[in-house]
Amino acid sequence: MESKTELQKEVLRDSLEGTLSDHPTQGSHGVNYHHAFTGTEGYAFYMPTLNLIGVGALNGAGAQISELGYKKALIVTDKVLVKVGAVDAITKILDGIKVEYAIFDGTEPNPTDIQVAEGLALLKKEDCDFIISFGGGSPHDCAKAIGVLATNGGIIQDYEGLNKTTTAMLPVVAINTTAGTGAEITRFAIITDSKRHVKMAIIDWKVTPTIAVDDPVLMVGMPRSLTSATGMDALTHAIEAYVSTISNPVTDASALHAMKLIKTYLRDAVHDGKNMKARDMMSYAEFLAGMAFNSASLGYVHAMAHQLGGMYNLPHGVCNAVLLPVVQEFNAKKVPILFIDIAEAFGHHDIGEDADLAVKRVLDDIRSLNNDIGIPKNLAEMGVKPEDFELLAENAMKDACGFTNPRVPTKEEVIELFRLSHVQ
């Protein structure tokens, strides 16, 4: 059997040719993809400097924040977490270590450039010298974007694409309350351009938080729907990172174990939110999936999901879940061998070297998991309109997350992927 490394090199060559010939607009991001993705200079691996993980991890955050030596934090969160008192968990810690704070609770799902500007204005008004994000992916992404503008200036649109900043962002301590997005540890920030109705991908190693905190105790109160959506987001991260053209042995190991944990524990976390074992393992799973895609990047599930979120303001994890089996069936025609390892991670130990059987088992499992945890069956149920497919496809082909997909689609093929996801 051809090794993953050999297959990866072959797919990478094809992907690079497709990227440069089929997607000329991607050059506007200023990225030399031949240089960035050929692997001729080894691999880059990105992580926060410090990660606090596991039950009770938040209890150790105070000492670490104190050691940073900053005087006043901007806490970036949302109104719901403030209203239910969840944010008290961090404000009590800050009170205990004599660190002042101001709270920006204007973050909403799919944070926008407007919310980033509002948060930045409050940060400047309150003279905050660091940021604490508290919540899921939306507060983390909003906080990172605020941190970028605080030190680099301009507007957030200036930093769309890969490595556009010139200065490290303001330090961010990311305290995570969901098991899915990985935003607390990644160099990605996804912000909606309110005028274009497009989600911008800011991908920059200088956008990586300083400290990440993943305490499953904070996740016990997650609603069932959010547990489902974020769990499938994590599974999408793991699978897309594994089939990515720039994966490496470290990201592969992280991705495969994340898949195993999610397949084993997501249903339990959804159906019994107080199951601490399931919450703990899902917390580790989303962290591992974040480790994987933070360095291996993603693919066309995310490139397409971002457009649905930008145009319709739909939940990101749900969009990923609906698109995942359709896009992976498309990818499997290029890299069927990779699905043998994915099937093994899903618990199928009788596959041998039958790649076709592996693909079938994986796709069946994804659809079964979606059904069991209450994910909509298709995009039609989510209100997506077929007349928007062409614009959605055009924007998806410009999304930086698609550049590492193992199979380079044409615009017509992306439209067809939207159509298949609409009727499945």
Same domain, 153 and 206: yes
Burial code of 286-322, b = ≥16 C-beta within 10 A, e = fewer?
bbbbbbbbbbbbbbbbbbbbbbbbbbbebbbbbbbbb
Across 352-376, average pLDDT: 98
pLDDT over 70, % of the chain: 90
Same-domain status, 271 and 323: yes
Residues 233 and 189 in one domain: no
Say yes or no: 59 and 22 in one domain. Answer: no
Give the span between the Cα atoms of 255 and 58, in whole angstroms.
Answer: 25
- pLDDT, mean of residues 348-360: 97
* Averaged pLDDT for residues 370-378: 98
| Least confident window among 26-40, 69-83, 159-173, 258-272 | 26-40
Give burial (CB, 10 Å; 0-12/13-18/19+) of 3.
exposed
Same domain, 388 and 353: yes
Alpha-carbon span 401 to 410, nearest angstrom: 15
Contact partners, residue 323, CB within 8 Å, separation at least 6: 301, 304, 305, 417, 421
Mean pLDDT, rounded, of the chain: 91
In the chain, how long is the greatest CA-to-CA distance? Answer: 62
- So what's the pLDDT on residue 44? 84
Q: How far is 173 from 182, CA to CA, in rounded Å? A: 14
The two beta strands, 211-214 and 198-203, are: unpaired
> Tokens 């290029």, residue?
334
255 and 301 belong to one structural domain: yes
What pLDDT is attached to residue 12?
52
**In the structure, what pLDDT confidence band is assigned to residue 24 with cuts at 50, 70 and 90?**
very low
pLDDT of residue 263: 98
Question: What is the pTM (predicted TM-score) of this model?
Answer: 0.90
Q: Are residues 123 and 27 in the same domain?
A: no
Q: pLDDT tens digit string along 218-272? A: 999 899 999 999 999 999 999 999 999 999 999 999 999 999 999 999 999 999 9
Chain segment 89-132, per-residue pLDDT in tens: 999 999 999 999 999 999 999 999 999 999 999 999 999 999 99
Mean pLDDT for the stretch of residues 398-406: 95
Q: What confidence score (pLDDT) does residue 42 get?
A: 78
The torsion defined by the Cα of 87, 93, 97 and 100, in degrees rounded to 10, comes to: 0
| Angstrom distance (rounded) from CA 176 to CA 181 | 9
Task: Indicate the pLDDT class of residue 163, thresholds 50, 70 and 90.
Answer: very high
Indicate whether 142 and 242 sit together in one domain.
no
Residues 206 and 233 occupy one common structural domain: no
Tell me the residue range of the domain where 131 lies.
Answer: 50-219
Domain boundary among 219, 236, 271: 219
E runs forming strands in 177-297:
188-193, 198-203, 211-214
CATH number at residue 127: 3.40.50.1970
Whether 100 and 60 map to the same domain: the answer is: yes
Q: What is the per-residue pLDDT for 18?
A: 47
Model confidence at 41: pLDDT above 80: no
Same domain assignment for residues 186 and 212: yes
Q: How many CB atoms lie within 10 A of CB 109?
A: 16
Query: 23 pLDDT exceeds 50?
Result: no
Per-residue pLDDT, 14: 58
Residues 233, 215 within the same domain? no
Q: Of 162, 191, 219, which residue constitutes the final position of a domain?
A: 219
Q: What is the CATH number of the domain that holds 414?
A: 1.20.1090.10
Using CA atoms, how far apart are residues 340 and 332, in angstroms rounded to an integer? 11
| pLDDT reading at 159 higher than 80 | yes
Average pLDDT over residues 329-354: 97
What's the residue count for the chain?
424
Contact call for residues 342 and 363 (beta carbons, < 8 A): no
pLDDT at 178 over 60: yes
* The pLDDT value given to residue 120: 98
> Which pLDDT band, with edges at 50, 70 and 90, does 397 fall under?
very high
Q: How far is CA 275 from the centre of its chain?
A: 24
Helix/strand/coil percentages in the chain, nearest 5: 60, 10, 30
**Count of domains for the chain:** 2
- Angle at 163 (CA atoms; ends 105, 331), nearest 5 degrees: 90
3-state SS, residue 199? strand
End position of a domain, from candidates 149, 184, 219: 219
| Span 390-395, average pLDDT | 97
